[in-house]
Amino acid sequence: MTKDDHQDAVAREPDPRTADNRAEAFHGVRVARRNELAEDYVELIAELIHTQGEARPVDIATKMGVTAPTVAKTLGRLARDGLITRAKYRSVFLTDEGRALAKECRHRHEIVLRFLLSLGLDSETAERDAEGIEHHVSERTLALFAAFANRS
Amino acid sequence: MTKDDHQDAVAREPDPRTADNRAEAFHGVRVARRNELAEDYVELIAELIHTQGEARPVDIATKMGVTAPTVAKTLGRLARDGLITRAKYRSVFLTDEGRALAKECRHRHEIVLRFLLSLGLDSETAERDAEGIEHHVSERTLALFAAFANRS
DNA sequence: GCATAAAGTTAGTCTAGGCTAACAATCTGC
DNA sequence: GCAGATTGTTAGCCTAGACTAACTTTATGC
Ligand SMILES: [Mn+2]
Ligand SMILES: [Mn+2]
Ligand SMILES: [Mn+2]
Ligand SMILES: [Mn+2]
């Protein structure tokens, strides 16, 4: 269908499903990107509840570095998606599902961070990179990161 | 200003600029995310020009796993941003700036990929994860990845 | 307990990035 | 050289995620 198909007749070693894999990889990244924000939010909300006793929109806004209306709209989506519950003018609570996701995210975040630190990265850069990388590591990669961090 | 300020009076060990760093980290991730798509496109366009002789929208669409109109719109943005040039119904060319970005992206992609492979990851998963991670590694992290991959 | 400050909401705007449907141009094979 | 297939464009729709402006509610301090 695409040019590759007949090009492969000439190809030496590349396997015939390379194009598919590319599209799949990009698709996987797009999916991951769709969940990034939700992951960061529930992770932060869990942390705020733990450290401050409650998760207030104003604190979420400060830590996320966005404005209050942006937080409000995002919380609306999280509620719609069953990750949090909220009442008007009150602070935010995680549902069971939200709590489970938060736990998983914190776990991932910590492994990625520990891994970067164990590679020798300074903590500020490690924190910044971990915040982005954490959403793009598969289970398999995470396991390798954890193993490496542990035996360092 | 936020609750943290006076909370810090009670705090044990966390340093006082933690909140700022968090917001900065999230901001950095948001910025990185804005460039992800452009980076993947120019990298792919460069690759298509190299392997096929030209970069046709239909091939970009296939490899990216999106529809032709999506590609058309994205190419419009890339042209607007000075990364490519194009004429109606013709294939796409990189500007100097686009070529430079493509080169840099390919470089980053390769280092991340080699790094993941050298950690012991299978190549399919490595390719998928690299496609996402590459946009979130700082120069510093990249250098550590490269060093690790080389001495493995 | 009330005035004011702080926090939260709502409405409206914008861009990116995805899609489908419909149409236009180009390429290909005969 | 033209019919049909392929490719590309355009228009229009949608959601996410950002913002400002304006308003309402809640919390605070005196
Ligand atoms: Mn993150
Ligand atoms: Mn995180
Ligand atoms: Mn990528
Ligand atoms: Mn890439």
Q: What is the 3-state secondary structure (H, E, C) of A25-37?
A: HHHHHHHHHHHHH
Give the SS3 label for residue A68.
helix
Q: Has residue A145 got a pLDDT over 90?
A: yes
Say yes or no: Cβ of B23 under 7 A from any atom of strand D: no
* A68-97 residues near strand C (Cβ < 7 Å): 68-69, 72-73, 75, 86, 88-89, 91
Q: Of residues B13 and B143, which shows the higher confidence score? A: B143
> Which of A27, A64, A141 lies at the smallest CB-CB distance from B129?
A141
Is pLDDT at A35 greater than 80 in this prediction?
yes
Angle at B47 between CA B54 and CA B141, to 5 degrees: 155
Nucleotides of D under 7 A from a protein CB: 6-12, 16-22, 25-26
Q: What is the largest CA-CA distance in chain B?
A: 66
Using pLDDT thresholds of 50, 70 and 90, give the confidence band for residue A150.
Answer: very high
Local confidence band at B15 (pLDDT 50, 70, 90 cut-offs):
very low
Pull the structure tokens for residue B72.
Answer: 């058309």
Q: What percentage of residues in chain A have a pLDDT greater than 70?
A: 88
Ligand 2 (ion): residues with CB under 5 Å are: A 43, 109
d(CA A122, CA B38): 29
Above 70 in pLDDT, residue A66? yes
Helix-, strand-, coil-residue percentages of chain A, each rounded to 5? 70, 5, 25
Report all structural domains of chain B as residue ranges with CATH numbers, in order of start: 14-151 (1.10.10.10)
What is the token pair recorded at A31? 């999916």
For residue range B61-107, list pLDDT tens digits in order.
999 999 999 999 999 999 999 999 999 999 999 999 999 999 999 99
B84, B42 contact by CB (below 8 A): yes
Phi (first) and psi of residue A92, to 5 degrees: -105, 145
Considering chain B, what is the average pLDDT of its residues? 89
Please tell me the distance in Å from A80's CA to the nearest CA on chain B: 23
* Candidates A2, A58, A128; nearest CB to B58: A2
User: Which pTM was predicted?
Assistant: 0.88
What secondary structure letter does DSSP report for B151? T
Distance from CA of B73 to the nearest CA of A (A): 17
Q: Is A99 helix (H, G, I), strand (E, B) or coil?
A: helix
Split at pLDDT 50, 70, 90, the class of B21 is confident
Measured to protein CB atoms, the chain C nucleotides within 7 Å are 6-12, 16-22, 25-26
Q: Which of A3, A62, A120 lies nearest to residue B52, judging by beta carbons?
A: A3
The strand pair at B84-85 and B93-94 is best described as: antiparallel
Judged against a pLDDT cut of 60, whether residue A1 lies above it is answered with no
DSSP A86: E
Question: Is a pLDDT exceeding 50 seen at residue A5?
Answer: no
* Class of residue A9 by CB neighbours under 10 A (exposed 0-12, middle 13-18, buried 19+): exposed
What lies within 8 Å, CB to CB, of B84 at 6+ separation is: B42, B45, B75, B78, B92, B93, B94, B95, B98
CA-based nearest residue in chain A for residue B126: A141
Confidence label for B19 from pLDDT (cuts 50, 70 and 90): low
pLDDT band at A8 (very low <50, low <70, confident <90, very high): very low
**pLDDT-based confidence at residue B140 (cuts at 50, 70, 90):** very high
Q: Is the pLDDT of residue A3 over 70?
A: no
- With a 7 Å cutoff on the CB, does B63 touch strand D? no
CA A132 / ligand 2 centre spacing (Å): 8
The CA distance from B137 to the nearest CA of chain A, in Å, is 6
Q: What is the pLDDT of residue A4?
A: 35
Separation in Å: C7 C1' and A62 CA:
12
